[in-house]
Amino acid sequence: MSQALNTDRGLTYPGNVGCPGCGANIAVNHALRALGEKTILVIPACCYAIVSGPYPQTALKVPILHSAFACSAVTASGVRAGLDMQGDTETTVVAWAGDGGTFDIGLQSLSGAAERGDDIIFVCYDNEAYMNTGVQRSSSTPYGSRTTTTPGQGWKKTRKKNIMEIMAAHRVAYAATANIAYPDDFMRKFARAREARGATRFIHVFASCPTGWGVASGHAIKIARLATRTSVFPLYEIENGTDYTLNAGGDLPVGDYLTVQGRFKHLAPEDLALVQAEVDRDMALIQEKVAATQVRRAFFKSA
């Protein structure tokens, strides 16, 4: 007779209404394992607003406050202020927004909170389009992607906005990229963000969307891992907006990642070469900043 060893569902209830293979669900599971039950989520309009349960249901054992699309960051700031009034210094307040609610519609609110240095963790779980409403392009949608608003030959010809550089420009205390395919790195970063209280922390989570990207649901993790192994989505941390640490990149060609997805199927070899050049340049920039950080640290240490 089998004896249960670990039947723990963590802080979730079964029966969420996410698509099979939903990367956002995997992201929430990883994040809550690191954050613990003393967590409040503020969720603007996005996939996870629905996945976590349409009224009157909830899929989480931690409180969720649903906000309007444009204001998850400032709502989280408000929740934080309320908790401070109550003398609760233990609870972590997390804004949990999709790329639409971060890169586009939520950007002014996020910028405001970051400029004020509000004591929140802002998480963007990035699936690179407005998936919940039917795969419309966002400013996070990468170059070459087909969406319902960039269909056919009108596939997106502009690159993805670099949200990490925007947050670095705000000199947030801690910013990091995390990938659902790297659970140890992912949870370490969330634990670190939880501990870095008193300042704004930002985590850019790569959360694959099999439905919107045109990959098999079972490949949700595999495709996310490829994003890092091709350096399309390198894993790195930025402290105080200036100090860079690289955790993981990779040397696989971008074609390994792009050509297995329906949204990029139409790209010609010259398009892939263009993406490769862009990825290489971005990676070189990060490496320059990592090197500069090391030089600066060595200088201050010796001084």
Partner 1 sequence: MSAWSRPPLLFPVSHTTTEANRTGAWRFARPVFRPKTAPCAAACPAGIDIARVEMFAARGRLHEAWQTIARENPLPAVCGRVCFHPCEAACNRAQLDAPIAINALERYLGDAALAAGTPLASFDAPDLGRKVAIAGAGPAGLAAACFLARLGVSVEIFEAAAEPGGVLRWGIPAYRLPKAVLAREIERILALGVGLHCNRAVDQAFLAEAAGRFDAVIIGVGFSAPVRLHIPGEDRVADGLDFLRRVQTGQTEAPRGEVAVIGGGNTAIDVARTLLRLGARPVIVYRRRRRDMPAFIHEIAAAEAEGVRIETLLAPVGVAADAGGVRLTLQPMRPDQPGGDGRVRAVPAGQAPTVRHFAAVFSGIGAEVGAFWHRPADEAETLRLSHCALRLGQHPIAYVGDPVTPANSVADAIGSGKQAALALHTLFTEGPRAVARALQDCRVGPGPAVSLEIYQGAERAGRASRTVAFADINTDYFPVAARRHPSALPPGRAAATFDETLEALAPGEALAEAGRCFNCGVCNDCDNCRIFCPDQTVQAVRDGRRIDLDYCKGCGVCTVECPRAVLEMEEESA
Give the containing element (helix H, strand E) for 22: none
If the CB atoms of residues 129 and 215 are measured against partner 1, the closer one turns out to be: 215
Applying CB under 8 A, does 249 fall inside the site for partner 1?
no
Q: Is 45 exposed, middle or buried (0-12, 13-18, 19+ CB in 10 A)?
A: buried
Applying CB under 8 A, does 97 fall inside the site for partner 1?
no
If the CB atoms of residues 57 and 294 are measured against partner 1, the closer one turns out to be: 57
Number of residues that bind partner 1 (CB under 8 A): 41
Residue 204 C-beta: closest distance to partner 1, Å: 20
30 to 69, contacts with partner 1 by CB under 8 A? Answer: 30, 53, 55-59, 64
206 to 235, contacts with partner 1 by CB under 8 A? Answer: 210, 216-222, 225
Let me know: does 106 contact 123? Beta carbons within 8 Å: no
Applying CB under 8 A, does 251 fall inside the site for partner 1?
no
Exactly one of 16, 75, 141, 261 binds partner 1 (CB under 8 A); that residue is: 16
Name 60's bridge partners. Answer: 12
Applying CB under 8 A, does 131 fall inside the site for partner 1?
no
Asked if omega into 56 is within 30° of 0 (cis), the reply is yes
Q: How far apart are CA 284 and CA 92, in angstroms?
A: 35
Q: CA–CA distance from 13 to each of 5, 26, 55 (Å)?
A: 19, 13, 15
If the CB atoms of residues 17 and 68 are measured against partner 1, the closer one turns out to be: 17
CA 219 to chain CA centroid, nearest Å: 18
If the CB atoms of residues 6 and 153 are measured against partner 1, the closer one turns out to be: 6
- Of 145, 146, 147, 142, the residue nearest 131 (C-alpha): 147
Q: Give the tokens for residue 82.
A: 């309320």
150 to 189, contacts with partner 1 by CB under 8 A? Answer: 180, 183
Q: Give the tokens for residue 186.
A: 């992912």
Residue 161 C-beta: closest distance to partner 1, Å: 27
Applying CB under 8 A, does 82 fall inside the site for partner 1?
no
Q: Give the tokens for residue 155.
A: 């596939």
Residues of this chain that interact with partner 1 (CB under 8 A) are: 2-7, 9-10, 12-18, 20-23, 25-26, 29-30, 53, 55-59, 64, 180, 183, 210, 216-222, 225
